[in-house]
């Protein structure tokens, strides 16, 4: 086969972000509404803090209003819920994101359910999940929505294609499977969800025209699990030891890229693939919430 198309997350995310920037400028100019995103960080997890800062920088780039609330790790759940209630009532805030992971004494499910679903830009609130499943407009989970955008940008046909999603998490696997089967652009696929209980996972994945790996295991998808000409989307972000790296580790996906890529018609790299889409879709959801055109 010829060399596969590398599905470049930076190219797609930049296109989405530019569209959001234009939409935000128009909203500010025509209706005087500046999209506002509030991010709540509980504790001092370094990775979470870095991610929160990147969201703030993206808001600045897009002309959004950005508010960050940093709370100590011993914050009581009731205090966090009160803050969320205040943000729900703040008309200048259109998106609320509570960064995970949360300290063990706080129920993430209760936190998500407390957020006004119209301001749930993560797309995790049960109302948004339910609306997405039955095909109503909703803020959709950012990483799966980013995968759909990548497929659309590269004109990869989904309608009638056999899509296999490896993984069943509430964050990626389940919502992505539902999005792929929706009767809409970027959907209408014949979808199978596979996971660790499969007796012969490779037999299932080899049937895929579009194979999405979201299982959270480094290089788990090997060349023998992929059919010739398949499109492979790698959602995985795994840290593996690498003594030769300055940091002592490197980031790899759920797919054995070097050996799988030669069999593919198109494939996403890690890093540089799906991961770049998450913030782009978060900003898309915030703009939609500011417009008020989803509900």
CB atoms within 10 A of CB 213: 30
The whole model's pTM is what?
Answer: 0.94
Whether the pLDDT of residue 152 is over 70: the answer is: yes
Whether the pLDDT of residue 75 is over 80: the answer is: yes
- Specify the pLDDT at position 50: 86
Q: Where are the domains of the chain?
A: 32-116, 140-274
- Specify the pLDDT at position 249: 86
32-116 and 140-274 share one fold: yes
- Specify the pLDDT at position 44: 86
More reliable by pLDDT, 49 or 190: 190
CB atoms within 10 A of CB 32: 7
Catalytically active residues, by annotation:
55, 99, 122
H helices then E strands: how many in the chain?
10, 11
**pLDDT tens by residue, 76-134:** 999 999 999 999 999 999 999 999 999 999 999 999 999 999 999 999 999 999 999 99
Please tell us whether the domain made up of 32-116 is placed in CATH 3.40.50.10860.
Answer: yes
Whether the pLDDT of residue 174 is over 90: the answer is: yes
**pLDDT tens by residue, 274-289:** 999 999 999 999 999 9
Nearest of 281, 280, 279, 271 to residue 6 by alpha carbon: 271
Whether the pLDDT of residue 1 is over 70: the answer is: no
- Fold of the domain built from segment(s) 140-274: Rossmann fold (3.40.50)
Cis peptide before 271 (omega within 30 of 0): yes
Mean pLDDT of 39-63: 91
- In order of 23, 142, 165, 198, 288, the CA distances from 18 in angstroms are 9, 17, 29, 41, 15
Whether the pLDDT of residue 151 is over 80: the answer is: yes
């Amino acid at each position: 086969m010829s060399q596969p198309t590398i599905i470049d997350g930076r190219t797609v995310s930049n296109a989405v972000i530019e569209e959001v920037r234009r939409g935000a400028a128009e909203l500010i100019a025509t209706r005087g509404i500046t999209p506002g995103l509030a991010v709540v960080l509980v504790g001092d997890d370094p990775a979470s803090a870095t991610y929160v800062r990147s969201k703030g920088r993206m808001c600045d780039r897009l002309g959004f209003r950005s508010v960050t609330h940093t709370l100590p790790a011993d914050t009581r759940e009731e205090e966090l819920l009160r803050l969320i209630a205040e943000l729900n009532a703040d008309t200048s805030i259109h998106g609320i994101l509570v960064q995970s992971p949360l300290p063990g004494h706080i129920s993430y499910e209760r936190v998500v359910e407390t957020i006004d679903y119209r301001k749930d830009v993560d797309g995790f609130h049960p109302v948004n999940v339910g609306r997405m499943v039955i095909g109503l407009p909703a803020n959709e989970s950012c990483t799966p929505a980013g995968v759909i955008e990548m497929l659309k940008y590269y004109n990869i046909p989904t309608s009638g294609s056999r899509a296999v999603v490896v993984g069943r998490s509430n964050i990626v696997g389940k919502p992505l499977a539902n999005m792929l089967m929706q009767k809409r652009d970027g959907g209408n696929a014949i979808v199978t969800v596979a996971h660790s209980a499969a007796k012969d996972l490779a037999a299932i994945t080899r049937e895929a025209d579009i194979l999405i790996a979201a299982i959270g295991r480094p290089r788990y998808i090997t060349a023998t699990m992929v059919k010739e000409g398949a499109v492979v989307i790698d959602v995985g972000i795994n840290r593996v030891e690498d003594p030769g790296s300055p940091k002592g580790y490197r980031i790899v996906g759920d797919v054995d890229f070097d050996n799988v890529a030669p069999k593919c018609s198109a494939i996403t790299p890690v890093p540089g693939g799906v991961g770049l889409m998450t913030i782009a879709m978060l900003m898309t959801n915030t703009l939609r919430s500011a417009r008020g055109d989803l509900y």
